[in-house]
Amino acid sequence: MLENIIYQNYVLGTPLYRQLKDWHRFGWNVCESTLAAWVIHGTDKLSLLHQKLLQHPYLQGDETVVKVLREPGKKPTAESRMWVQRTIQKDERQAIYYAYRPDWSEKSACSLYSGFTGVLQCDGYQVYPKVAYADRVGCLAVWLMYGVNFLRLLNTVRPLKILDQIFHQEKKWTSLSSSARTIKRNEFLRPLFEKFWQALATCAALPKSSLGKAIAYALGQKEAINKLLQYGAIDISNNTCEQSVKSLVIDRKNI
């Protein structure tokens, strides 16, 4: 029953008060506070999932804004964060862990990844490099969201064409093993990566303009993005984790 309540709530996006009618039809005259207490009880078991995730060699991470009503010590308009931690797409056993934190601080990031010694794929938020793990890998798609509209606006299409080539090549190697994909990336993508960085460096843009900020962000992530050539197990984009965040946002709107 507990598994069903949590599944309905967080996977199918059915709030507890909407589940009540179903339970009443089955003859269980339960109230919403009882279901909420069961969910709280179930979270204790999720700590085991978190500990197992931290033992994986590769993880993906992201975070999104959440608002909590009547949160002690915070204004109603204040923003909190839901951190998302999940296995990579090539992992045989998929798992996603959502962790609430009251802020977006280095302390929250360090507590979430405490004990993790593997490779993390994430965006360029400043707290991630300060977390103690083996390595951090970037994401090409994150920069694409920042810069693609501005580049199209200015007809600066060369970087976009290079990105299209990178993603087109990568798509061919989805079914390959991690080691085979690493070899393919170094053979075919390394020259494209170099062309991409050269194309960005020659883009004319004011530093404080939207395009200038997007280019600066990309160049600031150059080292982390280039590490995609080293780790064939990790996709060149963090879209799998982004989709996990998207499902959380959709479920939040259902409540």
Calculate the average pLDDT of the chain: 86
Place of tokens 């290079």: 162
Region 241-253: mean pLDDT is: 76
Could you tell me whether strands 119-121 and 96-101 are parallel, antiparallel, or unpaired per DSSP bridges?
unpaired
Number of neighbouring beta carbons within 10 Å of residue 35: 22
| Sequence-ordered list of residues with C-beta below 8 angstroms from that of 42, at least 6 positions apart, any chain | 2, 5, 6
**pLDDT on residue 254:** 59
Q: How far apart are CA 168 and CA 183, in angstroms?
A: 16
Question: Of 137, 153, 156, 242, which Cα lies nearest the Cα of 196?
Answer: 156
Question: Per-residue pLDDT for 26 more than 80?
Answer: yes
Please list the helix, strand and coil fractions of the chain in percent, rounded to the nearest 5, in that order.
55, 10, 35
- Which range scores top for mean pLDDT: 36-50, 104-118, 149-163? 104-118
Out of 67-81, 110-124, 178-192, which region has the weakest mean confidence (pLDDT)?
67-81
Pairing, β 58-66 against β 80-86: antiparallel
Count of other CB atoms within 10 angstroms of residue 255: 11
Nearest Cα residue to 61 out of 30, 82, 40, 80: 82
pLDDT band at residue 209 using 50, 70 and 90 as cut-offs: confident
The residue-averaged pLDDT of 22-39 equals 92
pLDDT tens track for 108-152: 999 999 999 999 999 888 888 888 677 999 998 876 666 555 555
What pLDDT, on the 0 to 100 scale, is given for residue 182?
A: 97
**Do 196 and 163 contact (CB within 8 A), yes or no?**
yes
Task: Inform me whether the pLDDT recorded for 19 exceeds 80.
Answer: yes
Alpha-carbon distance values, 45 to 53, 100, 142, 233 (Å): 14, 16, 33, 29
Mean pLDDT on 49-75? 88
H-helix or E-strand spanning residue 121: strand 119-121
Q: Percent of the chain having pLDDT more than 90? A: 45
Tokens in use for 111?
């507590």
pLDDT at 130: 81
Q: Looking at per-residue confidence, does 45 or 139 come out higher? A: 139
243 pLDDT above the threshold of 70: yes
Tokens 């160049």 correspond to 219
What's the whole-model pTM score?
0.84
